[in-house]
Amino acid sequence: MTRFDYDDSDVVVIVGSGAGGGTLAHELCRRGFKTVVLEAGPHLTGEDYHNDEWAAFGQMAWTDPRTTSGSWAIADDFPNLPAWIVKAVGGTTTHWAGACPRFKSHEFAARTTYGDIEGADLLDWPITLSELEPYYDQAEIKMGVTHRHGRPPLPANNNYKVFANGADKLGYRDYSTGPYATNAEPYDGRPASIQDGFNFQGDKHGSKWSTLVAELPKAEATGNLDLRPDSQAVQILHGPDGRATGVLYVDRNGTLRRQRAAVVSVAGNSIETARLLLLSASTRFPDGMANSSGQVGRNYMRHTTGTVWGQFDKPVRMYRGETMAGVIADESRLDTGRGFVGGYYMQTIALGPAFFAKFVAPGSWGPKLAEIVDGYLNTAGMWIVGEDMPQGTNRITLSDTVDEHGIPVANVHFDDHPNDVAMRRHGQQQGAAVYKAVGAHRTIETPPYPSTHNLGTCRMSQRPGDGVVDRFGRAHDVPNLFVTDGSVFTTGAAANPTLTIVALATRQADFIASDFRTGRN
């Protein structure tokens, strides 16, 4: 295993090993850059994963203290768990479902397309779909996305057949079993899915793309990767000129270490990335590093989500096959005539009995809950995911609560925008209609779970005063500091974010390689 010296000032330090950090690491390592990846969690592999929902959750989830505020239901239902993300090598790519839709063209220009929306801080992205399309192609090929570039579709499971038949009866036409980044047949050294129904949290077989099984092993094979698990970054350091010079982190033994760096990338997810920048306040950066605009932590987005369950007279056995393996895309269109701006997708979802009982009706109990859980075998499920509105008041700040190292944890404040509420209502009504069209005798609408799509907080902007990073994810204030995760999303769009994070990270690697090799920085 490669190890670089703590005082090696030529290395690129990446904080986080998920979709953005892991992809950037591979792209830089294969170009010859010495790269250190600091990952807060352990290095788990397929052999380590538990095939049990709660055991897997305890093994993988980021359960360090966090606090919540705001009017969102999560503050009441899950006050200490605002987000459901992973603390382990591979980050949340070891937990994600694999859905890979692209952004639509108008979603890069939300401010221009939607106009003034009261209470929303809309802004156009400083890039367009046409600029990102070549990188979407690269990302889809890299990830082996089904339905794209000749990759075959996943087979239809029962959950999908119920979903698709309901869609057809309702008049929807844009539905299919993908695109998903799970192999229907062996690809890129990874096996085909065995349809085991449990790769949502830890894929033991490696058929689903993650940076754990794809990008990081390839990076390590170059000899340019120094992967350091159990390493919690606590501060980004800078010199008198304001340039980043390294990262302070606590290693697995509790020792405070300093790794020098030529370039620093922060890829810790929208919550931890904002927290680290705020923790890096100094005399030169009194409000946090890269925060002269005051935008670090602001415009936190989590997508408008909700779940609909349909219960039938006959078994569905939704747990068989992939957790997510179907999408209805008709409602992702631009159509303000529905009473809201933005669009949403409906996607199949399945939970095991333990999670189903916990999450189907938060706060309920007694005979009503027992009756729903008794119908588990006959249940089909779908998740609604759509564009939410950025709001400057939805933000990550430093809490009075501290972690095991005595460092302030993140407080996540969120209020739904009226547009989010209208979209969720429409999505759950349409979802219920899909199931009723094929004979559901009961539909259940579940409020949002702890956030899995954490976006914004360091948004990309043309003008430095409007955001934190430029069109390549480079901090406006610090020329050798980059952000490489969903934090840079100017707006959220309707699409699941991982494909776009991978495309942006690949594009950023091209920029870093060009910019720093030519000595412009």
Which pLDDT score, from 0 to 100, does residue 520 have?
54
DSSP one-letter string for 286-308: TT-TT-TTS-TT-S-B--EEEEE
Q: Which residues contact 443 (CB under 8 A, 6 or more apart)?
A: 308, 309, 310, 311, 431, 432, 435, 436
User: What tokens appear for 427 in the block?
Assistant: 């999505």
Q: For residues 155 and 161, what is the distance between their CA atoms, to the nearest angstrom? A: 10
Q: For residues 27 and 139, what is the distance between their CA atoms, to the nearest angstrom? A: 12
User: Does domain 12-518 correspond to CATH entry 3.40.718.10?
Assistant: no
Give the DSSP H or E segment for 36.
Answer: strand 35-38
Instruction: Look at residues 149, 155, 211, 207 and name the one whose alpha carbon lies nearest to residue 182.
Output: 207
User: What tokens appear for 425 in the block?
Assistant: 């209502």
CA distances from 140 to 214, 369, 495 (A): 13, 41, 14
Asked if 312 and 476 count as a contact pair (C-beta separation under 8 A), the reply is: no
516: exposed, middle or buried (Cβ count in 10 Å: 0-12, 13-18, 19+): middle
Q: For residues 430 and 345, what is the distance between their CA atoms, to the nearest angstrom? A: 11
Taking each helix axis from N to C end, the angle separating 129-143 and 498-517, rounded to the nearest 10 degrees, works out to 110
pTM of full prediction above 0.85:
yes
Q: For residues 21 and 38, what is the distance between their CA atoms, to the nearest angstrom? A: 9
What count of other Cβ atoms lies within 10 Å of the Cβ of residue 223? 12
User: What tokens appear for 10 in the block?
Assistant: 């030529």
Burial 278-288 (b: 16+ CB within 10 A, else e): bbbeeeebeeb
Q: Please identify which residue in the block is written with the tokens 């920048």.
A: 277
> Mapping DSSP to helix (H, G, I), strand (E, B) and coil, where does residue 24 land?
helix
Beta-bridge partner residues of 389: none
User: What tokens appear for 447 in the block?
Assistant: 């409020």
Q: For residues 109 and 103, what is the distance between their CA atoms, to the nearest angstrom? A: 11
Which pLDDT score, from 0 to 100, does residue 398 have?
98
Task: List strand residue ranges (DSSP E) for 387-519, in order.
Answer: 395-402, 408-413, 442-446, 481-483
Question: What do you get for the CA distance between the two ends of the chain, in Å?
Answer: 30
Domain ranges in the chain? Answer: 12-518
Q: For residues 144 and 190, what is the distance between their CA atoms, to the nearest angstrom? A: 10
Q: Please identify which residue in the block is written with the tokens 């956030």.
A: 451
Q: For residues 290 and 269, what is the distance between their CA atoms, to the nearest angstrom? A: 16
Q: For residues 508 and 89, what is the distance between their CA atoms, to the nearest angstrom? A: 21
Across the beta sheet with 408-413, the strand order is 67-69, 408-413, 395-402
Asked if 98 and 182 count as a contact pair (C-beta separation under 8 A), the reply is: yes
Asked if 362 and 447 count as a contact pair (C-beta separation under 8 A), the reply is: yes
Question: Residue-wise pLDDT tens for the chain (521 aa)?
Answer: 899 999 999 999 999 999 999 999 999 999 999 999 999 999 999 999 998 889 999 999 999 999 999 998 888 888 888 999 999 999 999 998 899 999 999 999 999 999 999 999 999 999 999 999 999 999 999 999 999 999 999 999 999 999 999 999 999 999 999 999 999 999 999 999 988 777 778 888 899 999 999 999 999 999 999 999 999 999 999 999 999 999 999 999 999 999 999 999 999 999 999 999 999 999 999 999 999 999 999 999 999 999 999 999 999 999 998 888 899 999 999 999 999 999 999 999 999 999 999 889 888 889 989 999 999 999 999 999 999 999 999 999 999 999 999 999 999 999 999 999 999 999 999 999 999 999 999 999 998 888 889 999 999 999 999 999 999 999 999 999 999 999 999 999 999 999 999 999 999 999 999 987 765 55
- What phi and psi, each to the nearest 5 degrees, are found at residue 13? -105, 125
